[in-house]
Structure 1
Amino acid sequence: MARQYRFDDLPDAAREGFEGACLRHGFVHDDFEVDWDDRPDKAGRNLTVTRITGGDLQHYALDGSDTWLRDFERDLQQGVFGVPLAD
């Protein structure tokens, strides 16, 4: 059975990059759920980011680089996950 991974399982640099991207666009990392498993599918490993409010989600390829972080920040900038909630 494949192990499920969450935000806290990301390497420190990836967690910090994710949190920074969120903050630059008015979000906090707790606005999102991050998960993946250790069983690659035929298309390769994917990380899923889901906006908790609204349920918008995106899949990002895990290729050993930080490309997924750049893609996530681009999606935040383009409004893929909607707008941040007011405090």
Structure 2
Amino acid sequence: MAAKSFELTLASKEGPLWRGEASQVEVPALGGGLTFLPGHASMLVLLAKGEMKVKAGKDLSFAIEGGFASFDRDRMVVAVDSGRSE
């Protein structure tokens, strides 16, 4: 049975911004937007300035600037230069 969610940690230089289970995450990658779902292939991407959207029971939105996103084995870490909840 496929997982319905994955672990997400979002942090900035100032500290943690959000942590929990997400069913979908959209990030503004340097090459364009990317969407991550449970079971996604392992990936490391550089992020651009833009909006990060998280589906985690409710829809969340974060304004982020730079950084990277790493996805491996249904765990995602997003480390940004700066970010805030919208």
Please give the TM-score of this superposition, normalised by the length of structure 2. 0.31
Larger Rg: 1
Structure having the higher helix fraction is: 1
Higher relative contact order, chain-length normalized (CA < 8 Å, sep 6+): 2
Structure having the higher strand fraction is: 2
